[in-house]
Amino acid sequence: MNWLPKYNYILASKSPRRQELIHDLGIDFRVEIREVEENFPAELYREEIPVFLAELKAKPFLGTLYENDLLITADTIVWLDGEVFGKPSDREDAFRILKKLSGKEHQVISGVCLTGMEKQKSFWSVSNVSFRELSDKEIYFYIDEFKPYDKAGAYGIQEWIGYIGITHIEGSFYNVMGLPVQQLYSEIIRF
């Protein structure tokens, strides 16, 4: 039995991981994409960035939702030493990012925005992730085999690099995959 309210759920995300997680949560949904430029003001800090981007992704839908629609938008960033890491632009950028994460703890922060016809609610989740020291060879192997160009921080925790490189995680594992599903479930019930 599904405990979630009966909305017409719309997921505005191309991410196969987000789609899989929403499906596995037991939500019957459709995917609808409306392109936006994913830019954010430079003065935003940490969790403000993915929340801003999640809300930005909801903007093209405003005024087009029906009474029982519930739109879900999300964005995930990696944060280390005051620097934000989104999706890498190419192989060398992916290497640069993973080299910086190597041997350190960083934060993975997802912002999620729930939008209905008359109200909107945003929230965020933070997970701390520690990598062991990665060799250049391991980093290039991962990039060349798994092509992590659609992933914040240039890695997927559920892929090879997560198996061999992640030594510790504090917080939601699914948040690191791109969607804090337990928190999403609770927020939908409260919405």
Report the catalytic residues.
75
Give the C-alpha separation, 33 to 91, whole Å: 26
List strand residue ranges (DSSP E) for the chain, in order. Answer: 8-11, 29-31, 69-80, 83-85, 105-115, 120-131, 166-170
And the tokens for 11?
């997921």
- The total number of residues shown for the chain amounts to 191
Please say whether the dihedral angle defined by the alpha carbons of residues 62, 64, 69 and 72, taken in this order, is positive or negative.
negative
DSSP 171: S
Residue given tokens 């995680």 in the structure block: 169
Give the C-alpha separation, 138 to 133, whole Å: 10
And the tokens for 146?
């798994």
